[in-house]
Amino acid sequence: MDYFLIFIVALSRVLPHPPNVTPVAALALFGGAFLSRRFALLYPLLIMIVSDLALNLLLGVSWFLPESLFVYGSFLITGLLGLWCRSRRSIGILYLAAVASSIQFYLITNFGTWLVSGMYSKNIAGLLQCYTMAIPFFRNTLMGNLFWFSVLWGTYHLAHRLIPHRSRISV
């Protein structure tokens, strides 16, 4: 089941979708809060590597840019946030964590873009320009994280309700 989930989430990055609207961060957050450490820390990185390689083969997109370290690191932070939520599973805390995940992704990845891409001048004005240009991507990230987290959370609770004799669904 783990490999199937990795395949499905990786496929979601390869198939056409709005920019930054994929379930990778939601899986990291949800996995840390409800499933296993693998889902929070290892699987999002595997998903990114597999889908980046697929994008390279299919579209010729460079599979690893210096900015990728910031993206991958941000997904690790989201996984750690999910692990922190493990003992705080109220719906309010979980959705705040999804928002916090989106904010830290925006801040970290755009700082990385500013720092290593050469697209922006290396001063405060360039950094502010980078963050300003990325606002539409932030909106997509936030909507995607909230949507995909809701899908994972709802599916988990529906399955938990349909299989009440199990205290936790193992995946």
Instruction: Give residue 157's pLDDT band: very low, low, confident or very high (50, 70, 90).
Output: confident
Which segment, 30-44, 59-73, 96-110, 150-164, is predicted with the most confidence on average? 96-110
Buried b or exposed e, range 100-139, using 16+ CB within 10 angstroms:
bbbebbbebbbebbbbeeeebeeeeeebeebbeebeebbe
Its pTM stands at 0.85
pLDDT at 7 (0 to 100): 80
**Band (1; pLDDT cuts 50, 70, 90):** low
Tell me the one-letter amino acid at 6.
I
Task: State whether residue 170 is helix, strand or coil.
Answer: coil
